[in-house]
Structure 1
Amino acid sequence: MAAKTYGYAESSVDMDALRAYAAMDIIVEDMAERGQYQILRRFLREGDTLIVAHWSALGDSALAIGAELDSLQAEHIRLRILDLPITLQDLDEVSAVVVFQTLKEILLVLQQRQDNLQTLHRIRQQEGIQAAKNAGRQFGRPAIGYPKGWKRIFGRYQAKEIRALEASNELKISRATFYRLVKRYRQG
């Protein structure tokens, strides 16, 4: 069976780039779920070529992309990534293994850097929030005060002269707000 060339695109821009690069037997376009990619993977056979626009088309994380690279290599499927010109060259099997191993290492470094940046961002965000709290800044919506006539109507509600709906209507607040105020009033 003759080897085929498949393209996988996640957007119409990627699809145009794939069509401009080479003639392919099949081009599949997908959205974030990668459902079409999983179907395409079932069709790929030894000796076939898969062309993608970006390495992110292979997975959502460095580990997922690395696992996909390993899987493609194990199945002897050639991979071309338009963003990485070295992958577009006709490499022998040993060179291809070295290139993709290097690519996996680069992915891990990039993933670690991204994780470190996210951690640093969370730390700085928490420091900023703490500094604002220390300066007296209040966060969130301000608590509602007790409406006029609260004690009288609450007393009637507690004595079971009126129900919560009637009490909330008299106070001109929602029933949920009435229950929140009852809870707060009883606690403190």
Structure 2
Amino acid sequence: MRIGYGRVSAKDQNPERQLVKFRELGIDERYIFVDKLSGKDFNRPRYQAMRLMIREGDLVYIDALDRLGRDYDGIISEWKYITRELKADIVCLDNETLFDSRKFRTMGDFGKVMEDQFLSLLAYVAEQERKKNRQRQAEGIEVARASGVKFGRKRIEIDEAFIKVYKQWRSGVISATEAMKELNIKHRTFYRRVREYEEELL
């Protein structure tokens, strides 16, 4: 069976380019798995679902090695688990010449040595790129803060209606549930506004 695994780092990023490649290979939509999460570890729901599905003889396609992950040790561990323990194969579409585990498999023990060398090099590069991205992001945030940009959720101005309901709730006239219903807001929003209002009172 052929399986496709795609990943983008954030929810607002589009994995369509990867999905097009999988569809062109004729992979059934049921066997295409996509996560919109960082590659720092492998605790990703769709990746774990795919991992449970893989059987001996299956072929897993990924667009590039860093789509599998960006953690040096994790990439090597997962690659070996899939190819050596599960006895499935992995193909990296952006570099099939080097990263097609079927080719290494035909070379026997020497193939394993070659595969280990290539994996170590590419996994290291993938992890270093993740560290650079994180550093660039942190530097960008610091520059923005220095320029007066504020991060985080915008505080909502506390109006008279909220204050009235707040006082009734604090005095025990109404319950928190009744207060939320009266203001037409949810649990988390209510308590966030309570905290903000009480901070203003200090």
Q: Give the alignment's TM-score, normalised by structure 1.
A: 0.53
Question: Which ranges of structure 1 fall in alignment gaps of 5 or more residues?
Answer: 1-7, 17-28, 42-49
Question: Which ranges of structure 2 fall in alignment gaps of 5 or more residues?
Answer: 4-21, 34-49, 69-74
Identity %: 17
Residue 136 of structure 1, aligned match among 139, 148, 152? 148
Call closer, same or farther: CA 1:99–1:142 in 2, change over 3 Å.
same
Q: Which residue in the other structure is 2:54 paired with?
A: 37
In structure 2, how many angstroms separate the alpha carbons of the residues matched to 1:167 and 1:133? 34
In structure 2, how many angstroms separate the alpha carbons of the residues matched to 1:52 and 1:156? 63
Confirm whether residue 9 of structure 1 aligns to residue 21 of structure 2: no
| Deviation for aligned residue 1:106 | 0.3
Say whether the 8 Å CA contact 1:55–1:65 is kept in structure 2.
Answer: no
In structure 1, how many angstroms separate the alpha carbons of the residues matched to 2:139 and 2:145? 10
In structure 1, how many angstroms separate the alpha carbons of the residues matched to 2:24 and 2:170? 66
Say whether the 8 Å CA contact 2:166–2:179 is kept in structure 1.
Answer: no
Structure 2 counterparts to residues 1-188 of structure 1, below 5 A? 8-10=1-3, 13-14=24-25, 30-32=31-33, 33-38=50-55, 41=56, 52=59, 60=68, 61-70=75-84, 83-84=96-97, 96-148=108-160, 154-164=166-176, 165=178, 169=182, 172=183, 174=185, 176=187, 177-187=189-199, 188=202
In structure 2, how many angstroms separate the alpha carbons of the residues matched to 1:30 and 1:175? 37
In structure 1, how many angstroms separate the alpha carbons of the residues matched to 2:164 and 2:196? 16
Which has more radius of gyration? 1
| Deviation for aligned residue 1:108 | 1.4
Q: Which residue in the other structure is 2:13 paired with?
A: none
Say whether the 8 Å CA contact 1:9–1:53 is kept in structure 2.
Answer: yes
In structure 1, how many angstroms separate the alpha carbons of the residues matched to 2:155 and 2:90? 58
Call closer, same or farther: CA 1:143–1:97 in 2, change over 3 Å.
same
Say whether the 8 Å CA contact 2:158–2:193 is kept in structure 1.
Answer: yes
In structure 2, how many angstroms separate the alpha carbons of the residues matched to 1:62 and 1:132? 37
Q: How many residues align?
A: 147
Question: Bigger CA drift: 127-136 or 176-185?
Answer: 176-185
Call closer, same or farther: CA 1:13–1:151 in 2, change over 3 Å.
closer
Q: Secondary structure at the match of 2:160?
A: coil
Say whether the 8 Å CA contact 1:154–1:167 is kept in structure 2.
Answer: no
In structure 2, how many angstroms separate the alpha carbons of the residues matched to 1:146 and 1:136? 24
